[in-house]
Chains A and B, each alone.
Chain A
Amino acid sequence: MLQTGLIPNAHNDLVTDASYDFYGLRLATCSLDQRIKVWQLDETNGTWAVESEWKAHDAAISKVCWAHPEFGTILASSSFDRTVKVWEQIPATESDAPQVNGSGGAVLTSKWVERAMLVDAKGTVRAIEFAPQHFGLKLASISSDNQLRVYDCLEQPSLTTWQMAEEVDVLNLPSGSRSNNNTANVATPTQQPSTTPEAASASLVAHALQQQQQQQGQPARSGSGNREADGGWCLSWCKDRYWGELIAAGCGASGVVKIIQLTQSRRPFTVLTLDPSPSQTSTNDASGKNAPASDGDTPTPFAITSVAWAPSCGRSYHLIATGGRDGRVRIWRVRPPLPSDELDGEPDGDASEGKWSASIVGDFDDHKSAVGRVEWNITGTILSSAGNDGRVRLWKMTVGNVWRPAGHISVEQADEQQADVDMDADAED
């Protein structure tokens, strides 16, 4: 790895998320300081300069992400203020008063305007992601109220009308098989006693009560830290078109990721649960009655805080990476039903149910501490992960389908370095 650039001071507070645009020429960042900044790469010298910045929310921003460019230049941001906002960059006209904020000082060539605010979440919106562009302009969000919400943009040029197409209680989502919906629910590993009361109170009623309590009882946002320790964490869309709309979502402290199928014809359901606990690698939800196994030995509950679905790139299988509080980076190979299992090529038919399967092709504890982020490159060949060991690690597949570490990056001072580094002196590199 080689360092190629540096933004010496991106925000006035901790950066909470950063996201490259489709071409990697711009970087959107958001921060605890409630602001979004869009940085532009100068390709001639590799430096980044602020193109726009504005105060976007009334609380810390949790995530920022770009829509596919065929819909325009669009950003979405989610926040601890429980909202999701959609922003569009438009050319500035002469009459423009700075509605949001343009590039300060320089000639105003474009501006970002707020197009929509989505206020359905009852808790911090922790993650958002636009759907792959072939499904249209859609946005999924997951929040600490355990709900996965999917929004459809109804009027595309104006971007103002977003309809909540799905609202999914991830913890209590039925599995694909209709016969044993209930048992699957009961057996959800999250519902273990102790340690995380929120996880146990995952029923709708309890949750509603909890919200009420939060809204009434909590005077300020200070005490709610622990309350929100559970809830929905992360989501990632399946980038492939063939299998319909699928989202991998991590919720609660059960250590599992659910793969949720969204179809127009029926309510969303789980096609597969990625559960790394020993007895049930590659749990297939339809046959997932072995879940009670987790009742016997009670593994320490942990949350999967990051999930990334790799671009499928013509593979017959999918790669999904997860990172969690158990300190592990896992790479799952998820196999959809074989085409021959389908009667008519309809991916959502019952015939294909129960045949999704998964296996772990990489399981790494190198971080030895909580993993907060996993992300793929565009070809799904390099996985990056970041953890509490202060390192970013890369993982690559080698011949024979063996995933291996491929270097790491530290922000900690190297042994041999001088005790204090002059920031300005190094800033240009």
Chain B
Amino acid sequence: MAQEDSTHLRPSLIKHGGLQKFIDSGKTLSVTVSPRDDSIAVYATSNSHARPSSNSSAEYHPIYMAIPHLPPSGERRTFLTDTSVIFAAAQNLVRVAREESVQIPDTVDGIKAMTKLALDYVNHCKECCIYAAQETARRESLQFDADHYRKLYTCFSLFMVLYMPEGGFEDAPVGDELMDWLNTHYIEPSTEDGDRLSSLDRPWEDETFWHYLTRATLRGLSRASAFFLGVLSQHPSPNLQHLSQRLIPLLTNHPRLHQFAAERDFAVASRRWKDKVKSLRLELDRVPEEDREDGFENWWERFSDIVSILEGRGDSVKRIVSELGGDWKEVCAVWSVFVDTRIRRSDLPDLVEDLLDELPPDPTNLEDVIHSSLFLGRPTQALSQAAELDIWLAAHLVDIMESLQLIDVEPDDSEHSIRDHYILSYAEYMRSDPSLWRLTVDYMSSCSEIGKAMADQVLMHVPLRLHRPKGAHEGETEIAQIHAGQLAGVLKEVIATCFEYKREEVRRMICRIAAQTFMQEKEYGLAVSYCASAEDWPGLGRVVDRVLEDYITEGPETFARLVANMSPVLHSLRAAPGAHGVFLHRLMFAVRFAEFHQRRMMGDLQEAAFDLVAMFREDLAPRSWWAVILSDAVELLQHSQSMLFTNNDAVLFLHKLQEIDMRCAQGAQDDYLAILARTMKGAGEKQIFQRLQVIRLVLARYTARCGVIGVGGRTTQGTVY
């Protein structure tokens, strides 16, 4: 996963060595970065910022897309998703501890819980390794091989052995646990060798026999050792027969820490056992030179090696392990079981430093390098190496390391702590798959303010997918739900995430974007409610403007239909306290105006007339719309069956008309007549004034009718609602 790499895009734009020609022809490269997944688009562009001359059109002009990380797929995706659950649990633990203002390492329960979670990580690495090693047909090919997960497994479990001892074992000898770790991950001697040797009548004649026996002893595999020592009772040399019988109980009774309740007992038993080994050495030395060969091997030397391991001779251990192809880790484990049986975790760095001088780690093997850093007690260094191996490892190690106070928690110069740095790098890796945005946000939000702000960026760039798809789609139901006014799909999830992490600013922006989308789709009711949810009152005003614009361009029928679903929102808005002044006022006008047209078209003329009057009486109608409303009133005023307005209403209309005339005379035509002009579709000034004349005439006739009839239609003021 190292990123210091170079990539050649294909098909190549420049022939090998052709760069200079490319540059000389006035071209260069340019790049732009995608907010979706940090992928970049690369293209050749004009280098001369002066007026560029057109290049030959015979060339092709490609745009390349490239991405910094391979997006997780197949088993890797599952692995990331599964371990994120553990991460969330760990976060929970840290949060609870913080709320109780305790440090996790200070409480037994805290450590226990954290250890359990770390073990979960280890087990997931193990399972993923086992899964990846299976030779079955898979739906998706593996992104990382079993060996990669094995490395994660060894590193994470070593971290646990060294830094997360079981409760009460913090200051206990570490040998057994190290040897267990080694035996779990680096199995030697191989089972195949064992099977093969055990099938032989005289296995000591096989060249691997003594290697096998020595390695089994080194690794503390007393049962295997004892079995083959037992076989040696058939060996032609009586000395060897005897010695091997003496050795068997020593191996099987090798005192191990876990067999003892107190370390003191362990120490005493170890001393006694060492004495027995010494007496075996004495017996061994008494074997005459001529009996030390069996015609295949110098069995005495081999046997002596085994005894020297038990004796705990450091130099012999190093030599024997090297000869057997073991590395510094094996020496270290053997050392802590046979040489210095009481070695503590805190002593390991010194020991390993010495060992590494003689048996250096393989610098090309990141796994080995990480192991050495962990052994040397350099967690920070281990992290940077882990990040090279797999940022997953660094991120999940650092999270635990910080909670255990193994690393510096203070932010550095860049205002990132070490933990945040690796967590954010990991989150950045996950961004390569946009559909992992939830996990990305979770990890980022677990960091300090900078991480949370980055999570904001990720959240707000999640495509909301509100547009109705062109064809029939699976997702259509969700989109239909959204359009029916429910929260569904991505929008629901994004908003829920905003609530979860209390990112109100982001939520509002998302609502504004949703409102804009709905406005474009003429879903005005939704647009208004999302504006309201974002408390975006200017935006609400723009939706109303757009609606009224639709009246002008599309006519009253369409307008009334589009606005129909706005009125419920209006009612809830008016019920809400602290509202929102001028924009709400405009919304009320639009809704009222639409209701008027709705009723008019339905033939409910009396109610329509009420609406018309109310728009003036309640001062809902903006001046620019007066002329339009009056013009729309003409139809009702001329209604022959009934008098729909009172005399007062008609007078009110006349007043408004008068004001329009007067203002226009003062030069404010644009303010008062522009919209009427637009509804009349390109009518000239003359026609507009004619229209006003018509209104005046109709009004005059109406007031006259009121006068003639005397009672004048209705005299009481129509109630508004």
What residues of chain A have their CB less than 8 Å away from a CB belonging to chain B? 1-20, 22-25, 27, 29, 31-33, 41, 46, 48, 59-60, 69-73, 80, 90-91, 107, 109, 124, 126, 133, 144, 156-158, 221-222, 224-229, 233, 305, 311-317, 369-370, 372-373, 375-379, 381-382, 384-392, 394, 396-401, 405-415, 417, 419, 421-423, 426-427, 429
**Chain B residues with Cβ under 8 A from A315's Cβ?**
414-415, 450, 453
Q: What string of 1s and 0s marks CB contacts (under 8 Å) between B534-550 and chain A? A: 00000100100110010
Q: If A229-B49, A411-B64, A412-B18 touch, does A157 touch B457 (CB 8 Å cutoff)? A: no
**Chain B residues with Cβ under 8 A from A421's Cβ?**
10-12
Contact in complex: A378, B457 (CB < 8 Å): yes
Q: What string of 1s and 0s marks CB contacts (under 8 Å) between B428-463 and chain A? A: 100000100000000000001111111011100111
Contact in complex: A20, B41 (CB < 8 Å): yes
Question: What 5 new A-B contacts, CB under 8 Å, besides A406-B4, A407-B3?
Answer: A10-B63, A60-B52, A394-B3, A396-B3, A411-B12
Give CA–CA (A354, B437) in the complex, Å.
Answer: 41
Give CA–CA (A59, B34) in the complex, Å.
Answer: 27
- List 24 A–B pairs whose Cβ atoms lie within 8 Å, in order of A's numbering: A13-B54, A17-B32, A17-B45, A23-B36, A23-B463, A60-B46, A72-B516, A72-B520, A157-B542, A225-B50, A372-B45, A378-B461, A381-B454, A391-B29, A392-B42, A399-B416, A399-B418, A409-B7, A410-B7, A410-B9, A412-B17, A413-B14, A413-B16, A421-B12
CB < 8 Å: which of B36, B57, B428 contacts A13?
B57
- What is the CB-to-nearest-CB distance from B21 to chain A, in angstroms, rounded to a whole number? 11
Contact in complex: A406, B49 (CB < 8 Å): no
Q: If A1-B67, A80-B51, A378-B461 touch, does A409 touch B22 (CB 8 Å cutoff)? A: no
Q: If A401-B412, A406-B3 touch, does A370 touch B28 (CB 8 Å cutoff)? A: yes
**Chain A residues with Cβ under 8 A from B35's Cβ?**
20, 22-24, 377-378
A29: nearest residue on chain B (CB-CB)?
B63
Give CA–CA (A221, B159) in the complex, Å.
Answer: 68
Contact in complex: A388, B23 (CB < 8 Å): yes
**Chain A residues with Cβ under 8 A from B380's Cβ?**
399
**Chain A residues with Cβ under 8 A from B64's Cβ?**
3, 5-6, 409, 411
Give CA–CA (A233, B50) in the complex, Å.
Answer: 11
Q: If A4-B39, A228-B51, A401-B413 touch, does A15 touch B44 (CB 8 Å cutoff)? A: yes
Q: If A221-B51, A392-B42, A401-B413 touch, does A412 touch B19 (CB 8 Å cutoff)? A: yes
Q: If A382-B68, A414-B16 touch, does A32 touch B7 (CB 8 Å cutoff)? A: no
**Chain A residues with Cβ under 8 A from B413's Cβ?**
400-401
- What is the CB-to-nearest-CB distance from B240 to chain A, in angstroms, rounded to a whole number? 58
**Chain B residues with Cβ under 8 A from A91's Cβ?**
520-521
A5: nearest residue on chain B (CB-CB)?
B65
- Determine if B40 is an interface residue (Cβ-Cβ < 8 Å): yes
Q: If A31-B61, A411-B13, A413-B8 touch, does A381 touch B37 (CB 8 Å cutoff)? A: no
A19: nearest residue on chain B (CB-CB)?
B32
- Determine if B62 is an interface residue (Cβ-Cβ < 8 Å): yes
CB < 8 Å: which of A1, A41, A70, A109 contacts B513?
A70
7 A-B pairs with the lowest CB-CB distances in the bound complex, closest first: A24-B36, A314-B453, A5-B65, A225-B50, A401-B414, A413-B12, A24-B34
**Chain A residues with Cβ under 8 A from B452's Cβ?**
314
Give CA–CA (A382, B425) in the complex, Å.
Answer: 10
CB < 8 Å: which of B31, B65, B448 contacts A375?
B31
**Chain A residues with Cβ under 8 A from B299's Cβ?**
none
Give CA–CA (A387, B42) in the complex, Å.
Answer: 11
- What is the CB-to-nearest-CB distance from A37 to chain B, in angstroms, rounded to a whole number? 10
Contact in complex: B54, A409 (CB < 8 Å): no
- What is the CB-to-nearest-CB distance from A4 to chain B, in angstroms, rounded to a whole number? 5
CB < 8 Å: which of A107, A224, A399 contacts B51?
A224
CB < 8 Å: which of B9, B55, B458, B463 contacts A411?
B9
Give CA–CA (A27, B35) in the complex, Å.
Answer: 11
**Chain B residues with Cβ under 8 A from A126's Cβ?**
49
Contact in complex: A6, B16 (CB < 8 Å): no
Contact in complex: A305, B49 (CB < 8 Å): yes
Q: Which of A414, A427, A429 has the most CB of B within 10 A?
A: A414
Contact in complex: A311, B42 (CB < 8 Å): no
What residues of chain B have their CB less than 8 Å away from a CB belonging to chain A? 3-19, 22-23, 27-52, 54-55, 57, 60-70, 380, 383-384, 412-416, 418, 421-422, 424, 428, 434, 448-454, 456-458, 461-463, 470, 509, 512-513, 515-517, 519-521, 539, 542, 545-546, 549
**Chain B residues with Cβ under 8 A from A382's Cβ?**
33, 38, 68, 428
**Chain B residues with Cβ under 8 A from A2's Cβ?**
7, 66-67, 69-70
Contact in complex: B45, A16 (CB < 8 Å): yes
Give CA–CA (A400, B14) in the complex, Å.
Answer: 38
**Chain B residues with Cβ under 8 A from A314's Cβ?**
448-454
Give CA–CA (A370, B30) in the complex, Å.
Answer: 12
Chain B residues touching A, majority SS? mixed
Q: If A12-B57, A382-B428 touch, does A410 touch B49 (CB 8 Å cutoff)? A: no
**Chain A residues with Cβ under 8 A from B416's Cβ?**
399, 401
Give CA–CA (A370, B48) in the complex, Å.
Answer: 11
Q: Which of A2, A27, A417 has the most CB of B within 10 A?
A: A2
Q: Which of B29, B47, B434 has the most CB of A within 10 A?
A: B29
CB < 8 Å: which of A20, A59, A224 contacts B36?
A20
CB < 8 Å: which of B19, B43, B545 contacts A390?
B19
- What is the CB-to-nearest-CB distance from B306 to chain A, in angstroms, rounded to a whole number? 47
Contact in complex: A157, B34 (CB < 8 Å): no
Give CA–CA (A229, B43) in the complex, Å.
Answer: 22
CB < 8 Å: which of B10, B434, B462, B463 contacts A429?
B10
**Chain B residues with Cβ under 8 A from A1's Cβ?**
3, 5-7, 66-68
- What is the CB-to-nearest-CB distance from A375 to chain B, in angstroms, rounded to a whole number? 5
- What is the CB-to-nearest-CB distance from A364 to chain B, in angstroms, rounded to a whole number? 14
**Chain B residues with Cβ under 8 A from A381's Cβ?**
424, 428, 454
A319: nearest residue on chain B (CB-CB)?
B414
A28: nearest residue on chain B (CB-CB)?
B32
**Chain A residues with Cβ under 8 A from B545's Cβ?**
157
Give CA–CA (A68, B380) in the complex, Å.
Answer: 41
**Chain B residues with Cβ under 8 A from A397's Cβ?**
414
Give CA–CA (A107, B12) in the complex, Å.
Answer: 35
B22: nearest residue on chain A (CB-CB)?
A390
**Chain B residues with Cβ under 8 A from A7's Cβ?**
62-63, 65
Contact in complex: B55, A32 (CB < 8 Å): yes
Contact in complex: B7, A407 (CB < 8 Å): yes
- What is the CB-to-nearest-CB distance from B670 to chain A, in angstroms, rounded to a whole number? 14
- What is the CB-to-nearest-CB distance from A317 to chain B, in angstroms, rounded to a whole number? 8
B39: nearest residue on chain A (CB-CB)?
A4
- What is the CB-to-nearest-CB distance from A326 to chain B, in angstroms, rounded to a whole number? 15
Contact in complex: B22, A386 (CB < 8 Å): no
- What is the CB-to-nearest-CB distance from A182 to chain B, in angstroms, rounded to a whole number? 31
**Chain A residues with Cβ under 8 A from B517's Cβ?**
69
**Chain B residues with Cβ under 8 A from A20's Cβ?**
32-36, 41
Contact in complex: A12, B513 (CB < 8 Å): no
B64: nearest residue on chain A (CB-CB)?
A6
Contact in complex: B68, A15 (CB < 8 Å): no
**Chain A residues with Cβ under 8 A from B22's Cβ?**
390
**Chain A residues with Cβ under 8 A from B412's Cβ?**
399-401
CB < 8 Å: which of A23, A24, A228, A390 contacts B29?
A390
**Chain B residues with Cβ under 8 A from A409's Cβ?**
6-9, 40, 42, 64, 66
- What is the CB-to-nearest-CB distance from B474 to chain A, in angstroms, rounded to a whole number? 12
**Chain B residues with Cβ under 8 A from A377's Cβ?**
33, 35, 38
Contact in complex: B6, A14 (CB < 8 Å): no
**Chain A residues with Cβ under 8 A from B462's Cβ?**
23
**Chain A residues with Cβ under 8 A from B48's Cβ?**
225
Give CA–CA (A17, B55) in the complex, Å.
Answer: 16
B421: nearest residue on chain A (CB-CB)?
A399
B444: nearest residue on chain A (CB-CB)?
A379
B460: nearest residue on chain A (CB-CB)?
A22
- What is the CB-to-nearest-CB distance from B19 to chain A, in angstroms, rounded to a whole number? 5
Contact in complex: A410, B6 (CB < 8 Å): yes
Give CA–CA (A69, B60) in the complex, Å.
Answer: 32
Give CA–CA (A90, B546) in the complex, Å.
Answer: 13
